[in-house]
Structure 1
Amino acid sequence: MKTKDLIKLIAEDTRRPVNLRLTLLAAITGGASIAAAAFFSAIGFRHDIGQAIETVRFVFKFFVTLSLLATAAALLAPVIRPGQDPVYRRWFLLTPAALLLGAVVLELVVTPSNLWATKLVGQNALHCLTIIPILSLFTAVPLFLAMRQGAPENPGFAGIVAALASVGVASTLYASNCFDDSPLFVATWYPMATVIVATVGYFAGKHFLRW
């Protein structure tokens, strides 16, 4: 294409620029609302949530899941804008892992060693590995559609970020139903569910977010 033809095409493009931040906010809010509706219609809170919310272990789960949601959501816009993804921001994604590591160390100190395996295995491992990925879909789909409005330099990583934000929503919902509150359980099974969704997100990003 000749330069004058390119200039002509640019001049004729009268489309209003897309506000990526608002588009992403609408996608994650809408997706989270749908995920919440599905969660409460099919599962809902654990029956003893009134007592559970008074315990440190139960509340701590939400510090982990919401920190994942917050750090991933903060990266959504930068990763789909070429040249606007400072590498240092990616390190914030380790915040949930750091929280879990500290909690696990404390749990090992205060819990008798003969109970470690029981608390790690828990009673809801299979639920965790299935419900979190399923709920993640409700947020991931609108997020991927919104992110196609951008131009990620690394589509695979952009897909991972979208997946992590979706897991943040899904795991927050699931945590309110899960009876296994031990950091040993949370540090084992929640990350496994996250890896499943992040892996799918990577390949989906490579396919759907490339430009």
Structure 2
Amino acid sequence: MESIVITGAGTGLGKELALQYAQNGYSIILTARRIQPLIEVKQEIESLGGEAFAYPLDIRCYEEVYRTVNSIIQDHHVTCLVNNAGIGYFGPFSSLTHEQINEMIQTNVNGTIYMTKAFLPYFQTLPKAKVINIISTAGLRGKINESVYVATKFAIRGFSESLVKELEQTNISVTAVYMGGMDTPFWQGTDHIKDRSRLRSAQEVAKQIIALENGQPEIILS
């Protein structure tokens, strides 16, 4: 059975992508820093007749990424990596702390790059493989009170577009996904979004991504 690795799979869009892909017959490799949400998603997938495995992982740590990825590929036939994990702190640029800036860069940028680099040699041995980077519309245009978050998403946009060109003659496809805001736990603890009721559900967005994704360089969901 083909396996899909999803980062940030314990909540929000990562969880919904895991549930949807599992219903489509894939074995799901769930990763995130906290193990308990992963166990809950794993149990939900299994209750629906699917297969899932949970791997606690801090994608900010280069050595931990490589150890975990090596363990995963020894036991699973992974053909797709979904770089979904991300974190955001919002407000005027002057209000952001050094720790908040570092955490966004380390998670959104470094984590995505580390995961992709760790899987790439393995993917190159397969007939076909793909990397899907969840970026959001923050990677398309600047936004008020999102300066550093947007900067990290622009970075992954550049990373994705460059990999598309670098790997275009290979067996590996790279897709960047740009979607608007969703009503997920991502927004808990912030008043940046005043009316969350106008946001789409993560389940709806996950269904759209899976329906549209076919190895193309980008998907834009308004």
Higher strand share: 2
Higher helix share: 1
Q: TM over 0.5, yes or no? A: no
Query: TM-score normalised by the shorter chain: which range applies?
Result: under 0.3
* Bigger RCO of structures 1 and 2 (CA < 8 A, at least 6 apart): 1
TM-score, normalising length: structure 1: 0.28
Larger Rg: 1
TM-score, normalising length: structure 2: 0.27
